[in-house]
Amino acid sequence: MTYDRLVCANCAAPVSEGRCPVCRASRERLQQQAGGVFAQLSPAMLVALMVLLLAVGLLLHQTV
């Protein structure tokens, strides 16, 4: 889940706007957690990467 869809329980505003200290703290924490290797890839790109890896695996299997 991305923080742009979350609503703050403290001020009832979107967390992405950072209106109150609770929003700003939550936004900062979520941004730090989203630093993974695949975090910036879209779902379509992940599917394309899986298909590519599957194709390479099949090609390697046929040559052995």
Structure confidence by residue, pLDDT tens digits, 12-55: 888 888 889 998 888 888 777 766 666 677 889 989 999 999 99
* pTM reported for the whole predicted model: 0.46
Residue 63, amino acid = T
Q: Which residue has the tokens 């599957």?
A: 54
Q: Which residue has the tokens 């967390």?
A: 15
Pure H helices in 1-64: 21-33, 43-63
Per-residue confidence band for 60, with pLDDT thresholds at 50, 70 and 90:
very high
Distance of CA 38 to the CA centre of its chain: 7
pLDDT tens by residue, 36-46: 666 677 889 98
Q: What is the pLDDT of residue 2?
A: 57
Query: How many whole angstroms separate alpha carbon 64 and alpha carbon 62?
Result: 6
Query: How many whole angstroms separate alpha carbon 55 and alpha carbon 27?
Result: 39
Per-residue confidence band for 58, with pLDDT thresholds at 50, 70 and 90:
very high
